Amino acid sequence: MCNDCHDEEDYGMPLIGDKMPIFEVKTTHGMMTIPFDYQGKWFVLFSHPGDFTPVCTTEFVAFQKRYKEFKELNCELIGLSIDQVHAHIKWVEWIKDNLDVDIEFPIIADDGTVADTLGIIHPGKGSTTVRAVFIVDPDSTIRAILYYPQELGRNMSEIVRMIRALQISDNNKVSMPADWPNNDLIHDGVIVPPPSDIQTAKKRLEDKTITCKDWWFCHKKL
């Protein structure tokens, strides 16, 4: 299933800044090759402990209800658990029939290979996967990783916020403050990278296009 992965002792689980390993996977939308099928797009690969479980069901409904918002950010979704594809299909049907929500994104039927490679098997829980989130950019680089315990469902607004912030950062070479875009100090402003030499530091406070609390702490509106 994984065509370009190394043994864990040689490679280890992927980290932020690594390329997403290449997987050929069976999904509810047919066979796919990750990350190549999403080349040129952002995507969120998220794992769930198992089909037909209450917290996971609420998460899938929540992801689907934000799916249009993800797509507007040029971002796709793909779920994963160590369940067979027919279980995924039946669960998707149950969600449609009982909750009137049509899950439009694919779900990977993992045999454990993907989960092992990504390091998302829940400790002490057999083959159950943790609630992991991998945010991957159009160059197939992993930009963020989140892990949640079984008892805590994910916050979809935070995942959307992270993708939006990463895209703004890439396009404008800026950083985001805590709780952006609702930061207590600079509100929806963005942080300008600090100067890297003395001369630039001296001129920084004279720059009328930005606001500074000091030469190393400057921000601006986009």
Same domain, 178 and 74: no
Q: Which residues pair with 80 in a beta bridge?
A: 47, 108
Whether the predicted pLDDT of 12 surpasses 80: no
Nearest to 61 by CA among 90, 91, 89, 16: 91
The residues, ordered by sequence, that sit 6+ positions from 194 with a Cβ below 8 Å of its Cβ are 201, 215, 216, 217, 218
Per the structure, the complete domain to which residue 177 belongs is given by 173-222
Instruction: For 135-165, write each residue's pLDDT tens digit.
Output: 999 999 999 999 998 899 999 999 999 999 9
Please give the Cα distance from 186 to 18 (Å, whole number).
32
Per-residue model confidence (pLDDT) at position 125: 64
Report the predicted TM-score, pTM, of the whole model to 2 decimal places.
0.91
92-141 pLDDT, tens digit each: 999 999 999 999 999 999 999 999 999 998 777 667 899 999 999 999 99
On whether both 46 and 101 belong to a single domain, the answer is yes
SS3 79: strand
Active site residues: 56
160 is a domain residue: no
Indicate whether 8 pLDDT > 90.
no
Instruction: Render pLDDT for 150-203 as a digit per residue (tens, 0 to 9).
Output: 899 999 999 999 999 999 999 999 999 999 999 999 999 999 999 999 999 988
Give the count of domains, the chain.
2
Same-domain status, 133 and 29: yes
Compute the distance between CA of residue 147 and CA of residue 133 in angstroms, rounded to an integer.
6
Q: Could you give the angle at the alpha carbon of 167 between the alpha carbons of 6 and 146, nearest 5°?
A: 50
